[in-house]
Structure 1
Amino acid sequence: MEKALEFALFRTFAVPSVSRLLVATGEFVSRTRKRYDDTELILYEILENGMESVRGRTAIARMNAMHGRFKISNDDYLYVLSTFIFEPIRWMEQWGWRSFTAIEKEAILINYQQLAKRMGIQAVPQSLESFEAFNRAYEREHFSFDPANKIIGDKTLELLLGFYLPGRFVGLGKPFAYCLMDTPLRRAMGYPDPPGMLQLLVRIVMKAKAWVMAWIPEPGKPVLGTKRNRPSYPSGYSIENLGTFSPRK
C-alpha cells in the first residue's frame, strides 16, 4: 500500500499545474528527501492518531497552512485526494496478495471524505463510482507533458530507488519502475516505454511476490510510519516544524 501511494505521487506530477507549483517552491528539487519525509509524516500522523486527536488536528492544521500559501484549484485538490483513494485499490487488485474488500474500499473513501472536509475541499463525490469517474475524467483532460513533470518525477524516482539501490546503480532501476506505470502516465512524465520482455518479467516477479506474501503471517504489531528512522530528522521532529513555510522577509 505504501508503494501504491508513492506511485500516486507520480500521477499528481503528471499534471502540469501541480508539477510547476512544486518546481516553483524549490523544495522537491533542492530538498527532495526532506519534502518526502514531511509529506509522509504529516499523513501518517493523521492516519495513525486519528483526525480528532491532538496530533491529528495539528498535522491537518500544518498541511492547510502550507497549502494556503498557494492558489490551488478545488479540482486539483480533489484529484490529488482521489489518487490516495484509487491508487492503493488498483495496486492491490493488480499486484497485491488480495484485493480490498468492498467494506475496506468504502472505509478508504470515508476516510478521505472526512479529510476533505477538514481541508475545506468542496464538491467531494459521495460514492466510489462517482469519485472514480472524476479521477478518470480529470486525467484524460489534464495529463500532459511539461518539463516540470520530469524534473519533479526524476528527483522523486531517484529518491525512491535509492531506498533499495546504491547511488551508482539507481539509473539501472529506472526501467523497472517504468514498468509499474501505465502508458498515459509515462507519456505525461516524458518516460520511455520499457521493452516488452522487461514488462513481462516485472509482472511475473510482482505476481510471484504476491503469491509468497499470501503465505507469510501478518506482523503481530503494527509497523508505524511515525516511528521510522528518517535521515531528515535524526533527533526526532515536531509536527509544527514539518513542511514548508513562507520565506522570512
Structure 2
Amino acid sequence: MPGATEAFHALWNNCSLAIVIGLTGYMALVQLLRYRRMAKIEAPFANRGRPLSSMTVEEAHAIIAQLQETEFPYAFAKARRMALLKAGGIPTMSKLFAVTGQNNRRNAGKRAVDTEILLRESQSQPRDSDRYASAVARMNYLHARYRRANKITDDDLLHTLGDGLGEILNVIEREEWRKLTDVEKCALGIFHKNLGEDMGIPFDALPSKAEGWKDGLHFALELSKWTIQYEEEVARPTATNDQYVRVYVDSALPSFIKPVVRQMLGADLNDIMRTSLGLESPGLFLSIVLGLVRNLRKLVLRYLALPRPSFLAVRLVHDKPNPETNLYNFERKGLQPWSRQQRRRSSAWAVLFRFIAKLTTRTLQCSLCTKSVASSSALSPLWSLEILLDCHAPVVHSGQYAIRI
C-alpha cells in the first residue's frame, strides 16, 4: 500500500504540474492574441508616426467594423439600446414621441426595431455605399417635418448624435476587457461627424465649430462633453418621460422581474438621466452582484477567452438580401416579432407560445389587421407574437425588417 500511495502522489503531482503548465501556456497564448488586433489598428499611426488628423473615412470605417463585429460586439449593441432609452429622458423628445403616437405599447416595439435597423445600416456600411445613403435618407425623411415644425430642435438632434457616441465610449470604458485607444476614439469621432453632416445637424453648439477640430479624437471628446452638459441643462422628470419608460421597459417585462430590471438600467445611467427617466438606483446587494458579474466578465475575456475570429464576426446586417423578400435581415433577440424570420406554424416556438397563451387569455386587437383575437396575458411582451401566430401564422410582418433595395 505505501508503494501505491507514493505512486498516486507522484501521478497527482505530475498531473498538477501539467495542468499548471498547460493553463499558463494557454493564458500566455490568450495574451499574445488578445491585443494583436488592437496593435494592428494602431500600427499605421503609432509605428509610422502618422497624425490622427490623417485618418481617412475609409480607415475609420474599417476600424469601427472591427470594433463592433469582433472586439466589442456586446458593448456596441448595449450602447445602441441605452442611447434609445436615454432619448426618452429629454422632455422635448419624449413629448414628441407621445404626440406622434410612437410612445405606446402598440407601436413602441416596432419603433425600436425601425430605429435599430437604421442605426445598424449606417454604422456597418461604407459612407459611399447605396445602403448607407438609403439609411441616412430614411432618417432625414422621418425627421424632416418635425424639424420644419421646430418640434425637434437642432440641439436635440445633436444630443441624439452625441448620445450614440457617448454610450459607446461609456459602455466600453465601464464593462469591457480593455479600454479604447485614441486611434479607435478618433475613428468613432470621424464616423459621427460624417453622420451628423449627412443628417444636416449643425455643430454650432460645439466650442470648436468656428476654428474646426484637430482630428476625430478632438471631435469625439468635445461632442461627448457637450452631450453631458446638455443633459444637465434640459433633462428633467416629466410625465412623458415616465410614460416613455413604462412603454419601452415596463410593458415588455413580467411584473415579478420589472423592479430588478429598472434598477439594472438605473445602474448604467448617471444621476441626472436616471432621475429624468424615473428609474430607481440599485440597492447595495444588486450593486455588488452587478459589479461582480461585470468584473468577472472582464477577467474571463482578458485572460481566458481567445479573441473572436473573423468567421464568427457579429454581422450587424446580412451582406446579401433574403432571396424570398429581397430585404436584408439582421439577428435580434426579442420577444416581439418585428425582427423575426418567418417560422412555420408547427415550429417549437409556435407550440411554446400557444401553450403559454392557454394559461390565461384575454381578447386583444391584432396590430396588423385590427382583428380581435385571444392572446396570453401571462407574460405581457408575448402578446403580439401570439397574435401573429394565431392570426397570420405568421405572414409579412414576421421579421423582414430592413432596407428595401
Normalised by the shorter chain, which TM-score bucket? Answer: 0.7 to 0.9
- The answer on whether the counterparts of 1:11 and 1:185 sit within 8 Å (CA) in structure 2 is yes
The alpha-carbon deviation at position 133 of structure 1 amounts to 2.7
The residue matched to 1:225 in structure 2 has which SS?
coil
- The answer on whether the counterparts of 1:14 and 1:144 sit within 8 Å (CA) in structure 2 is yes
Q: AA paired with 2:169? A: I
Residues 6-38 of structure 1, C-alpha deviation per residue, up to 9 Å, x if partnerless?
112232211100111011111242222211111
**Equivalent residue number for residue 174 of structure 1:** 262
**Equivalent residue number for residue 137 of structure 1:** 229
With normalisation by structure 1, the TM-score equals: 0.86
- The answer on whether the counterparts of 2:175 and 2:294 sit within 8 Å (CA) in structure 1 is yes
Q: Distance in 2 between matches of 1:174 and 1:191?
A: 6
Cα gap change, 1:102 to 1:69, in 2 (>3 Å): same
- For residues 91-170 of structure 1, the aligned pairs below 5 Å read 91-123=171-203, 125=206, 126=213, 127-158=219-250, 167=254, 169-170=256-257
The yes-or-no answer on 1:198 pairing with 2:274 is no
Alignment coverage as a number of residue pairs: 236
Which structure ranks higher in relative contact order (CA pairs < 8 Å, sequence separation ≥ 6)? 1
Q: Distance in 2 between matches of 1:85 and 1:229?
A: 21
- The answer on whether the counterparts of 1:150 and 1:190 sit within 8 Å (CA) in structure 2 is yes
- The answer on whether the counterparts of 2:117 and 2:401 sit within 8 Å (CA) in structure 1 is no
1:60 to 136, 149, 157: 136
Structure 2: runs of 5+ lacking an equivalent: 1-74, 207-212, 214-218, 318-329, 339-396
**Equivalent residue number for residue 403 of structure 2:** 239
Residue range with higher mean Cα deviation, 110-119 or 178-187: 178-187
**Equivalent residue number for residue 23 of structure 1:** 98
The yes-or-no answer on 1:85 pairing with 2:165 is yes
Q: AA paired with 1:216? A: A
Q: Distance in 2 between matches of 1:150 and 1:212?
A: 37
Cα gap change, 1:151 to 1:47, in 2 (>3 Å): same
Q: Distance in 2 between matches of 1:24 and 1:211?
A: 46
Residues 71-101 of structure 1, C-alpha deviation per residue, up to 9 Å, x if partnerless?
3111111111001111111111111111111
- The answer on whether the counterparts of 1:179 and 1:198 sit within 8 Å (CA) in structure 2 is no
The yes-or-no answer on 1:228 pairing with 2:320 is no
The alpha-carbon deviation at position 181 of structure 1 amounts to 2.2
Q: Distance in 1 between matches of 2:101 and 2:94?
A: 11
The residue matched to 1:51 in structure 2 has which SS?
coil
2:112 to 24, 30, 36: 36
With normalisation by structure 2, the TM-score equals: 0.54
- The answer on whether the counterparts of 2:80 and 2:167 sit within 8 Å (CA) in structure 1 is yes
CA-based RMSD of the aligned residues comes to 2.2
The alpha-carbon deviation at position 228 of structure 1 amounts to 1.3
